[in-house]
């Protein structure tokens, strides 16, 4: 986890998320795991949105120039918060 201004970057060194799955990552009940329920990222986004914060998936080649690593990367932008 990395803090940059009002952003928190959560990254892992595992495989990136399949390009076809990215548009559905935050959908309720969407999961690629055999026993997954598909509520985690949905609830995360909804809870952050209540306070006008944002979360998104980012890939190294998207130009998000703040320490994006190889693997899966999620960026949380906290509105009105400085670290």
Amino acid 14: pLDDT: 84
Amino acid 9: pLDDT: 87
| Distance separating alpha carbons of residues 32 and 38, to the nearest angstrom | 8
**Which pTM was predicted?**
0.81
Q: Mean pLDDT, the chain, as a whole number?
A: 87
CB 6 within 8 A of CB 78: yes
3-state secondary structure at position 45 = helix
Q: How large is the average pLDDT for residues 44-72? A: 83
Domain ranges of the chain: 22-61
């Amino acid at each position: 986890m990395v803090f940059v201004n009002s952003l928190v970057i959560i990254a892992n060194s595992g495989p990136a998320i399949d390009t076809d799955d990215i548009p559905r990552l935050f959908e309720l009940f969407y999961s690629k795991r055999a026993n997954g329920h598909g509520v985690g990222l949905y609830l995360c986004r909804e809870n952050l949105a209540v306070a006008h914060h944002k979360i998104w998936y980012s890939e190294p080649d998207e130009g998000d120039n703040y320490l994006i690593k190889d693997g899966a990367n999620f960026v949380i932008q906290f509105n009105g918060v400085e670290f």
